[in-house]
Chain A
Amino acid sequence: MAQPSETAGGLESIPALLLRNAKQFGDKAAYREKEFGIWQSWTWAETEKEIEALALGLINLGVNEGDFIAIIGRNRPHFYWSMVAAQSVGAIPVPLYQDSAAEEMAYVLEHCGARFAIVEDQEQVDKVIEIQERLHQFEHMIYIDPRGLRKYDHHALHEFSHVQDQGRAARDEWIEDLKARRAKLTYESQCVMLYTSGTTGKPKGVVLSNRNIIVSAKNSAEFDHLGPGDEVLAYLPMAWVGDFIFSIGQAYWTGFCVNCPESADTMMTDLREIGPTYYFAPPRVFETQLTNVMIRMEDAGKFKKRMFDRAMAHAKKVGPNILDGKPVGFMDRLKYKFYDLMIYGPLKNTLGLSRVRVGYTAGEAIGPEIFDFYRSLGINLKQLYGQTEASVFITVQPDGEVRADTVGVPAPEVEIRINDEGRIYYRSPGTFVEYYKNPESTADTKDAEGWVDTGDAGFFEEGTGHLRIIDRAKDVGKMADGSMFAPKYVENKLKFYPDILEAVLFGAGKEYCVAFINIDLTAVGNWAERNNIGYASYQELAGHPKVLDNIQSHVEAVNRSVADDPMLSGCQIHRFVILHKELDADDGEMTRTRKVRRAFVADKFNDIVEALYNGSDKVSTETEVTYEDGRKGAIKATLEIRDAKVVPVTTHKVAAE
């Protein structure tokens, strides 16, 4: 490699890393995908060939440097190749959420002016065709799965493998061009553009450079000692920055293997078969897994149940300490070993987490009880705090200093500053270049010196130097009596209960707090079955008085625990309601990454919020819902409002800042 470089030995782009890996790890597996019941694999050398063929094919189709190529589909090796092939020809990949409705896609495709899209199957092809009229620059679409597409007009539609075949056939013609384009890539070239879901407003296109991605990947890989022997399961949305960093950034930097599940439904089976050593999941996945384990233990025999409960109690007592290398008595260690053999080991195996060396959760705060459950089993689950604009990493937890209530220390090469109001700012090599075609937002978020506003409020803990996040800065407010209102803190406590899927707290500027609650259909449904409670719909189950009783007891327990924290004791829930529908991204109530759009929810259900504050014990409401295919309908319901017991708090200590 003749290219000059100041830092990474000429490895200033993902395609350059690919060439290195093909040389260095040539016959080591780079990708695996389960198809037709068997794990198919591609070595780094084969991967390089596949990507080259596709890149040549793209040049052949007329892709220019600087073009945007939309990538729409679930995690498959072909899509990862597509991204790197796009980069190789000087284009910029733009991964999109594949479950977005056509409308949402139209906005992104129009905003970036994509000329090409690489999509998965007929469903995605149909969606893009539906909106194509409005996209002036849009020219060609490439699909992977030909099923059902044979009869479509193929003037501007191409099958993935045909594009590769054409690329191979035209190799002599274009290879010099490809090499020249690849050689032009530097640290400053655009690596990828990712649209942030945004809890408010339209999505913004975050432009990340090769420097952002490669330096962040390098630093984080070194931090956790990741190497070519590691295995990951790629199942998180490709449009999310985390997947890009793990499955492309770190994978290309270290040369580890990326495994793609057979389909979204088989993810748990595939996880068990692969047994990743490095695992990443949002809190929701850990919650769901834990809920499933608990449900199944409820159904288990008495002996097994008692054995499990005892083992878990012991794990809770000594597990985290053993993991952190703290001193633990000999008998306790022996007992832990025994239970590991009998309970923890098989349980971890069932969860597919036997081999996990490093596990991360991020995206949202994780309930401490959930976090401790996994750590007590001996799974090195850690938290990190990050965002798209930072190429993920802002803070991470070093081994041995892991706690549920902090998010760790600044990641390598990241500087953090907290202003007087508690707002967190950072500066790092991963700091994004700009929001595409949106200089105002860029200026609002990133100042001239490169400091980026996270929009979160938090503080460094004295003594340990760990960062604690309180909430989104704009969500943290004051209640009528001046005490602090931090909704997420309370919601997370509620969400630990398996029956509660989602909770939304209101109370800023009010006398007291109220909450919306979504029940978890799996957990509550199972409970109903065991207790002979019949129900015909989600709505009916959600309104059942016994379900309300259960939720009320959870709310009261949370109130007691909130009351222990002098800073937040004002956030106890006085009244609550169980919503008649699940909050859903299709209805705009959540983002695609499943974060609640608080303001939107408050506005949409304002009649219910009002009823919660005016003392009535029932509220009738009608709600519009959007079905998966875009049709709309309405559901009507009368909801019962319950009062919850609160713990009286005499003195309100307000935070010193």
Chain B
Amino acid sequence: MSVNDNEPYVTADGRKIGGVLMEMKNITLRFGGVKAITDISFDIREGEIRAIIGPNGAGKSSMLNVISGFYIPQEGEVWYKGAPRPQMKPYEVAQQGIARTFQNIALFEGMTVLDNVMTGRLNHMKTGLLAQAIWKGKAQAEEVENREVAEKIIDFLEIQHIRKTPVARLPYGLKKRVELARALAAQPSLLLLDEPMAGMNVEEKEDMSRFILDVNDEFGTTIALIEHDMGVVMDLSDRVVVMDYGKKIGDGTPDEVRNNQNVIDAYLGVAHD
């Protein structure tokens, strides 16, 4: 069993990994004269936890923004579900089943946790604005349906006690969890996490890791995440892409990456030529 073949396989802990869900083909991204990403290719397979790591300024967040459709690369193609993806607006990307969280939390601070999570259901609501305002019949039934999904996620992430609390009053660690809840509410097929553990203490990191693993396990959600904390990444992910100065310097299982000389150099700071 090799992780790098394109055949579906079952991991040691019993999760099914399917075929390729998303493929980045020779992506190059420039901002004016600055090359943020240079000719990077890798794939994300159904059901796996895929990490993108690298030192500061390696281009990780840019990469995530390319995946999420926020940046449009000058060169290369993004293939999603077996077809090249045309240029699209962020909301169109969301409709395709991609959800994300942000490095600097981007919640609606004045709204309650529940309302924030409900916004994640937006793409699943079909009734019009007027019908929702009148809130009768179909609109009401739809609200109930979506609330059920939101409540399951609130239960899953154990945030029942803050359901009705305005987000602004929550501590940082909980806000991160609420953001994850909102992304999950969209029931995405691909979940992008931008530094889900930044600024957390050890206990919060442990909790968040647990939730990420459980999400992947229970819902079968494919997860792509960016993370600084090497220890966390190595424990969580099935495969890791390592970037440095906008280039891919390693790709493979955590063990392969850990023993990769380029990666060691990048992290220990050998002079670049």
Task: Identify the A interface with B (CB < 8 A).
Answer: 35-38, 147-148, 150-151, 262-263, 265-266, 269
Task: Name the B residues within 8 Å of A151 (CB-CB).
Answer: 13-14, 217
CB-contacts of B111-137 with A (<8 A): 114
Hey, which chain A residues are within 8 Å of B158, CB to CB?
263
Q: Which residues of B contact A262 (CB under 8 A)?
A: 160-161
Q: How far is the CA of A381 from the CA of B114 in the complex (A)?
A: 36
Q: Which residues of A contact B218 (CB under 8 A)?
A: 147
The answer to whether A266 and B214 touch (CB under 8 A), given A36-B151, A36-B152, is: no
Assess whether B163 is interfacial by the CB under 8 Å rule. Answer: yes
If A36-B151, A37-B147, A37-B151 touch, whether A148 touches B161 (CB-CB below 8 Å) is no
A sample of 17 cross-chain residue pairs with beta-carbon separation below 8 angstroms, ordered by A number, consists of A36-B152, A36-B154, A37-B114, A37-B151, A37-B163, A38-B151, A147-B156, A147-B218, A151-B13, A151-B14, A262-B160, A262-B161, A263-B160, A263-B161, A265-B160, A266-B160, A266-B161
Query: In the complex the two chains form, what is the Cα distance from A265 to B154 in whole Å?
Result: 14
Query: By the criterion CB–CB under 8 Å, are A269 and B161 in contact?
Result: yes
Query: Number of contacting residues on B, CB 8 A?
Result: 18
Given A36-B152, A37-B114, output 12 extra A-B contacts at Cβ < 8 Å: A35-B155, A36-B148, A37-B151, A37-B160, A147-B214, A147-B218, A148-B214, A262-B160, A263-B161, A265-B161, A266-B161, A269-B164
CB-CB < 8 A to A36: which residues of B?
148, 151-152, 154-155
| B152 A148 Cβ-Cβ under 8 A | no
- Interchain Cβ contacts within 8 Å, total number: 34
Q: Report chain A residues within 8 Å CB of B217.
A: 148, 150-151
Chain B residues within an 8 Å CB radius of A35: 155
For the complex, give the distance between the alpha carbons of A266 and B163 in Å. Answer: 10
Known contacts: A147-B218, A265-B160, A266-B161. The answer to whether A37 contacts B154 by CB under 8 A is yes
Near A by CB (< 8 A), chain B positions 192-248 give 214, 217-218
Q: Give Cα A147–Cα B215 distance, bound, in whole angstroms.
A: 10
- Contact among B14, B147, B148, B155 with A150 in the assembled complex (CB-CB below 8 Å): B14
- How far apart are the CA atoms of A35 and B155 in the complex, in Å? 8
Q: How far is the CA of A269 from the CA of B160 in the complex (A)?
A: 10
Q: What residues of chain A lie closer than 8 Å to B154, measured between beta carbons?
A: 36-37
Complex Cα–Cα for A35 and B218 (A): 19
> CA A147 – CA B156 in complex, angstroms?
9
Query: In the bound complex, how far is the Cα of B206 from the Cα of A632, in angstroms?
Result: 18
B:139-182 near A, CB below 8 Å = 147-148, 151-152, 154-156, 158, 160-161, 163-164
The 5 closest A-B pairs by CB, nearest first: A265-B161, A36-B151, A37-B151, A151-B14, A266-B161
Contacts of B151 in A (CB 8 A): 36-38
Residues of A within 8 A of B161 (CB): 262-263, 265-266, 269
Q: For B114, list chain A residues within 8 Å (CB).
A: 37
Question: Which B residue sits closest to A38, measured CB to CB?
Answer: B151
- List residues of chain B with CB within 8 A of the CB of A265: 160-161
